Amino acid sequence: MEPVGDKPTGVQKISAVMNKTRRKWWGEGSWETRKAENETGSEWRQKDGKPSVRCMLMKSHSTEGITFYTNYSSRKGQEIADNPQVALLFYWQALYLQVRIEGKAVKTDPKESEEYFHSRPKSNQLSAATSNQDEVVESMKVLVKKKDELRQKYADQSAVIPKPEDWGGYLVKPDSYEFWYGHADRLHDRIRFRRPFPEEVPDEKLVHTGEDGWVYEYLSP
């Protein structure tokens, strides 16, 4: 769906306050497109330089960054261990809005991962305990059988399912955010917020001073 008419006044807000705009747009996105509110495309680089992309489930976002959970022994976990520099992509079709994020992925505190794991539905906990993510298996029947066995083992309502040792969260600490706001005439708005380079002084013409130590600049579409 493309926007109609004049450019919305909301786009001017991105040059004023990055954090407020980010929260505003994320809030609108989650309200307008509930089904995809926490889905993100993500890219890693393998050791040989080849890109590795997948959709991820974003669990939270804050001024610190983006948090998601996975198996540390999975392919993505190994790729992050080899190169923690990652990229994320969000797209809200209803808003004609895209956000690109680049930054470094670091493991969340083990206590935080433990608390989140046990806040999940029991069936989800069992699935995480069942699957050694990315491991080759004979068939789905093997996994279904294993999960059934675990379900019986922890059938008691008071039973606590242990969090797998290699399951936990990552926090992507952003170095840059790029907001793309689409328009029907294809003269799209693009603005990038980033951490300044060492000893960089914004000239307030091409590079502008933002909040909390960030700078921002406009990009041609």
Note down the domain range covering 76.
Answer: 10-36+48-120+165-218
In total, how many domains does the chain have? 1
pLDDT digits (tens, 9 = 90+) for 138-173: 999 999 999 999 999 999 989 999 999 999 999 999
Q: Which tens digits make up the pLDDT trace of 88-118? A: 988 888 878 888 999 999 999 999 999 999 9
- Please tell me the distance from the alpha carbon of residue 66 to that of residue 58, in angstroms, as a whole number: 7
Assigned domain for 105 exists: yes
Identify whether 138 is part of a domain.
no
Task: Return d(Cα 102, Cα 177) in angstroms, integer.
Answer: 7
With respect to residue 156, please indicate whether it lies within any of the assigned structural domains.
no
H/E segment holding residue 91: strand 85-92
In a domain, 144, yes or no: no
